[in-house]
Structure 1
Amino acid sequence: MTFDFNNQSIYPCILLDNKANLAANFYIETFGNGKILMEVAQFTLFEIENQLFKIINTNHPDHRSNPAVSFMVSFETEEELRKIWNRLKVGGLVMIPLELYDSKNTVGWLQDQFGISWQLVTSTSQASKHQKISPFLQFGKSNSGRAELASNFYMEVFKHSKRDEILRYEEDSSKKLVKHLGLYLNEYLIRMADSFTEQPFDFSPGISFTIECETQAEIDYYWNAFAFGGTTNPAGWVKDKFGISWQIVPKEMNNWIVNPAINLKVVAQLRIMTKINIEKLRAIQ
């Protein structure tokens, strides 16, 4: 059976210790607006708030996520925010308690029971209306002060991109550190900021971003752009020069892996590929 989803060509991928289905169902129950789209031994693909997410089962100790990448969720009312906050914090860790920020918006930051970080905020901004849940990249440690530079790079890579006005820390006398910017890559909103205080974490493969490509030329384009100054790994994984991990894959990839008739053959090929060759995978069909 072939599954076709929305036009979201970029979506986040979370690595967890063999808890993909458990976590996916937790998020669907928590937000109350979602469903499982695909489920196999390797991964669970699901949606919440009309957005795609993928969780891959792994037991690799170096692939754990950290607060360098969190998910910002925007709510129109504080009542709605607190409802989700109380569900996410069960078994988790509150990093910044809910508090009124800028005299108008309620903001809080926590890690849930699976170690995934969430920033919850009341907001009626255009960005929040565009996308209720958006990844939030915090540039610290080895990437300190590089948020604007990274956004410039991604705007060069993605032909369909734009950036909201850059807000900067008022406390920063140099006026260079980014407090917040919204970056739209193929209409997918990713938020970025520089950490104003020293942080103990860098970006991790624990949360990566999948780019689904229609053609080999498209795979080659993104792969080469991110590999320049970065590092490559098998199965379409590449880490760019800022340490952000991407999975550059064919649009058919999930359908191939969920198909029991070809699953093992596809996975075997992926293990010996770095940049993915679509024709070799299609030849398995």
Structure 2
Amino acid sequence: MPNHIAPQLMFEGNAEQAMRFYVSLFDDSEIVRLERYGPDGPGKEGSVVQAEFTLAGRRYSCIDSHIQHPFSFTPSISLFIECENREEFERLLEQLSEQGEMLMPPDNYGFSTRFAWLNDRFGVSWQLNLGTTRPGLSGEAP
């Protein structure tokens, strides 16, 4: 059995900046481990070989890939945040969307009283949700 399973975010030079930004947004968040490349590479000196951090108590990993890839982040995998109140929703929306791209602007889409989907300045996709309005659903696991 695996030790643990955590999402791995691959950046190309700004992993530490992104990780520090994310940790600043959520309570119960911290950088757990940060390993940087030295002068002998293979990555750029000071870039992230491997890092581990928590967001709201959940574990994530990130790297700075020293290999150029023809791909980056995609919205088909996103970080979903169930906001406790409208103030939290608006704060996160403002901070995460700064220099980012709005995929679904904040609105009531029928499945939620307030929902937004965006890519942040680093290309990571986030879904923000405030409350649900799904009549007839029990919320029970199958």
Q: Distance in 2 between matches of 1:160 and 1:224?
A: 20
Q: Is this contact kept in 1: 2:99–2:121, CA < 8 A?
A: yes
Tell me how large the CA RMSD over aligned residues is: 2.0
Counterpart check, 1:175 vs 2:45 = yes
Q: Which protein has greater RCO, CA pairs closer than 8 Å, 6+ apart?
A: 2
1:240 Cα shift? 0.7
1:177 Cα shift? 1.8
Q: Distance in 2 between matches of 1:169 and 1:136?
A: 18
Gaps of at least 5 residues in structure 1 are 1-73, 76-127, 262-285
Of 230, 242, 248 in structure 1, the residue corresponding to residue 100 of structure 2 is 230
**Deviations along 1:17-50, whole A, 9 cap, x unmatched?**
xxxxxxxxxxxxxxxxxxxxxxxxxxxxxxxxxx
Report the AA paired with residue 59 of structure 2: L
Q: Distance in 1 between matches of 2:117 and 2:52?
A: 25
Report the AA paired with residue 241 of structure 1: R
Q: Distance in 1 between matches of 2:56 and 2:123?
A: 21
1:175 Cα shift? 2.7
Report the AA paired with residue 245 of structure 1: S
Q: Is this contact kept in 1: 2:33–2:53, CA < 8 A?
A: no
1:165 Cα shift? 2.3
Q: Distance in 2 between matches of 1:159 and 1:172?
A: 34
Q: Distance in 2 between matches of 1:148 and 1:136?
A: 13
SS in 2 for 1:207: coil
1:160 Cα shift? 2.7
Structure with bigger helix share is 1
> When the two structures are superposed, what TM-score results if normalisation uses the length of structure 1?
0.41
SS in 2 for 1:217: helix
SS in 2 for 1:172: coil
Aligned match of 2:91: 221
Matched positions, count = 125
1:228 Cα shift? 1.1
Moved over 3 A (4+): none
1:221 Cα shift? 1.1
Structure whose alpha-carbon radius of gyration is higher: 1
Counterpart check, 1:242 vs 2:122 = yes
